[in-house]
Structure 1
Amino acid sequence: MSDRQPRVGFYVHYHGMGHKHRTEAILNQLSIPATVITSRIHQLDWNGPTLTDIIGIDCDNDDVPVRGMQHAQDVSALHHAPLWTNSITKRVAQYTRWLDDTRPDVMVVDVSAEISMLTRLASIPQIVMRQHGRRDDPAHLSAYEAAHSLLAPFPESMEDDVTPEFVREKTIYLDGFCRDWKNQPASPSRPSQEDSDRPLVVVMFGRGGTGDVHQTLRDAAKSMPQSDWVVLGKEDDDNAIRTPLNLTFAGWQDNPEKWLSDASVVVTSAGHNSVMELGQARCRIIAIAEDRPFEEQERKARILDRERLAIGLAQWPRSSQWPSLIERAMMLDTSRWDTVFNGNGARQAADHVTRVARWSHEARLSGELVTL
Structure 2
Amino acid sequence: MSDHQPRVGFYTHYHGMGHKHRTEAILQQLSIPATVITSRLHQLDWSGPTLTNVIGIDCDNDDVPVRGMQHAQEVSALHHAPLWTDSITRRVAQYTRWLDKTRPDVMVVDVSAEISMLTRLASIPQIVMRQHGRRDDPAHLAAYEAAHSLLAPFPESMEDDITPDFVRDKTIYLDGFCRQQTIESSNQTQRTKSKRERPTIVVMFGRGGTGDVHQHLRDAATLVSHADWVVLGKDDDSNSGRTPANLFFAGWQNLPNQWIANASVVVTSAGHNCVMELGHVQCRFIAIAEDRPFEEQIRKAKVLGRERLAIGLTAWPAPSQWPTLIDEAMSLDPSPWRNVFEHDGAEQAAKHITEVAHWSHEARMSRELLTL
TM-score greater than 0.5 by the shorter chain: yes
- The alignment partner of 1:51 has SS state of coil
Indicate the residue corresponding to 1:248 in structure 2: 248
Distance 1:183 1:158 in 2: 23
Asked if structure 2 preserves the Cα contact closer than 8 Å seen for 1:32 and 1:50, the reply is: no
Indicate the residue corresponding to 1:125 in structure 2: 125
Q: Residues 183, 164 of structure 1: CA spacing in aligned structure 2 closer, same or farther, 3 A cutoff?
A: closer
Q: Which runs of 5+ in 2 are unaligned?
A: none
Report % sequence identity. 78
Q: Residues 141, 278 of structure 1: CA spacing in aligned structure 2 closer, same or farther, 3 A cutoff?
A: same
Asked if structure 1 preserves the Cα contact closer than 8 Å seen for 2:287 and 2:310, the reply is: yes
Note the C-alpha offset of 1:84. 0.2
Indicate the residue corresponding to 1:17 in structure 2: 17
Indicate the residue corresponding to 1:106 in structure 2: 106
Asked if structure 2 preserves the Cα contact closer than 8 Å seen for 1:8 and 1:33, the reply is: yes
Q: How many residues align?
A: 363
Asked if structure 2 preserves the Cα contact closer than 8 Å seen for 1:10 and 1:35, the reply is: yes
Indicate the residue corresponding to 1:355 in structure 2: 355
TM-score (norm 1): 0.94
Are 1:278 and 2:306 matched, yes or no? no
Counterpart amino acid of residue 320 in structure 1: S
Indicate the residue corresponding to 1:93 in structure 2: 93
CA RMSD of aligned residues (A): 1.9
Point out the more displaced range, 299-308 or 233-242.
233-242
- The alignment partner of 1:249 has SS state of strand
Asked if structure 2 preserves the Cα contact closer than 8 Å seen for 1:132 and 1:296, the reply is: yes
Distance 1:64 1:46 in 2: 26
Alignment of 1:292-331 (within 5 A): 292-331=292-331
Asked if structure 1 preserves the Cα contact closer than 8 Å seen for 2:183 and 2:257, the reply is: no
Distance 2:75 2:56 in 1: 26
Q: Which runs of 5+ in 1 are unaligned?
A: none
Note the C-alpha offset of 1:196. 2.0
Alignment of 1:183-222 (within 5 A): 196-222=196-222
Counterpart amino acid of residue 168 in structure 1: R
Distance 1:301 1:336 in 2: 16
Distance 1:240 1:76 in 2: 43
Counterpart amino acid of residue 76 in structure 1: S
Indicate the residue corresponding to 1:80 in structure 2: 80
Indicate the residue corresponding to 1:168 in structure 2: 168
Counterpart amino acid of residue 336 in structure 2: R
Q: Residues 73, 347 of structure 1: CA spacing in aligned structure 2 closer, same or farther, 3 A cutoff?
A: same
Distance 2:79 2:141 in 1: 11
- The alignment partner of 1:72 has SS state of coil
Distance 1:182 1:288 in 2: 25
Counterpart amino acid of residue 39 in structure 2: S
Counterpart amino acid of residue 301 in structure 1: A
Distance 1:35 1:244 in 2: 49
TM-score (norm 2): 0.94
Indicate the residue corresponding to 1:26 in structure 2: 26
Asked if structure 2 preserves the Cα contact closer than 8 Å seen for 1:25 and 1:346, the reply is: yes
